């Protein structure tokens, strides 16, 4: 049984409750998807994304909601939202249906993970071990150590792609740009040879990846 309402205003008290529960680190939005260009009919903590009442829904969220509706699902959870106002978001969206079981809106929780990522980076830096202290006892160990950075780069790239929850062949140019920005923000392209590892993972050529990186400057 799907969650149904007569109108979107009936969801506002629930949205207020969620906003109070999550506090200032989460933006809570109710979208009226019957008017996607100015879909936001409720918003709390809009300063995080820079959005306000009357702004539109992102193509990514609308596409994921449409796919969830086609699959008969009630929600889409834990996907990486668009980078807005210099913030990264982990988003979950609940489908709101009317009495005819037609999806008329979305209740979206967008958690600002920017500061969490920065804190994680600090913790990783503080807990890292100086490579000068590592004792390598055999050629096998040396080979493993030399391969590890490349595998880490591939894993991080795949993790970033997976966050979008969109098949590789369905990624738009903006999707790829956002993924590359996220990889860049993690310092991956400071590693020698990273471009040659990341490009095949994104199914693009090395020159194309360089053009994306140039666009981010």
- Give the start-to-end residue ranges of the domains of the chain: 8-114, 140-215
DSSP 187: T
- DSSP H stretches of helix in the chain: 12-22, 59-70, 114-127, 139-163, 173-185, 194-201, 206-215
CB 213 within 8 A of CB 189: yes
Q: What is the pLDDT of residue 85?
A: 63
b/e map of 95-120 (b: 16 or more CB within 10 Å)?
bbbeeeeebbbbbbbbbbbbeeeeee
CB 40 within 8 A of CB 58: no
Rg value, the chain, Cα: 21
pTM, 2 dp? 0.56
Pick one of 3.90.1150.10, 3.30.450.20, 3.30.300.160, 3.40.30.10 as the CATH number of 8-114.
3.30.450.20
Q: Is the dihedral of CA 46, 49, 55, 58 positive or negative?
A: negative
d(CA 130, CA 144): 17
| Tokens found for residue 13 | 């008290």
Q: What is the pLDDT along the chain (217 residues), one digit of tens a residue?
A: 688 999 999 999 999 999 999 998 899 999 999 999 999 999 999 998 888 999 999 888 888 888 888 989 999 988 887 777 677 888 999 999 999 999 999 999 998 887 776 666 666 665 655 545 444 444 444 444 344 678 888 888 888 888 888 888 888 888 889 999 988 888 888 888 889 999 999 989 999 999 999 888 7
Q: What is the pLDDT of residue 28?
A: 96
Dihedral, CA of residue 194, residue 186, residue 61 and residue 23, to nearest 10:
170
Q: What are phi and psi of 200, to 5 degrees?
A: -65, -35
Q: What is the pLDDT of residue 159?
A: 87
d(CA 153, CA 149): 6
CA atoms within 13 A on the CB side of 155: 6
> SS3 of 74, please?
coil
């Amino acid at each position: 049984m799907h969650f149904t309402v007569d109108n979107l205003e009936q969801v506002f008290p629930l949205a207020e409750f969620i906003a109070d529960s999550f506090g200032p680190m989460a933006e809570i939005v109710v979208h009226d998807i019957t008017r996607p260009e100015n879909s936001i009919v409720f918003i709390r903590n809009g300063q995080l994304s820079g959005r306000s009442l009357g702004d539109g829904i992102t193509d990514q969220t609308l596409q994921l909601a449409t796919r969830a509706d086609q699959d008969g699902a009630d929600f889409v959870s834990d996907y990486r939202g668009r980078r807005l106002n210099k913030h990264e978001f982990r988003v979950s969206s609940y489908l709101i249906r009317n009495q005819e079981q037609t999806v008329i809106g979305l209740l979206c929780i967008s958690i600002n993970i920017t500061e969490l990522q920065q804190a994680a980076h600090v913790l990783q830096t503080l807990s890292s071990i100086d490579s000068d202290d590592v004792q390598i006892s055999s050629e096998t160990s040396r080979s493993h150590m030399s391969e590890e950075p490349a595998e880490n780069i591939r894993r991080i790239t795949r993790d970033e792609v997976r966050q979008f929850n969109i098949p590789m062949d369905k990624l738009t140019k903006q999707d790829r740009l956002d993924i590359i920005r996220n990889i860049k923000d993690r310092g991956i392209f400071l590693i020698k040879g990273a471009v040659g590892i990341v490009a095949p993972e994104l199914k693009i050529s090395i020159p194309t990846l360089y053009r994306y990186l140039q666009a981010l400057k």
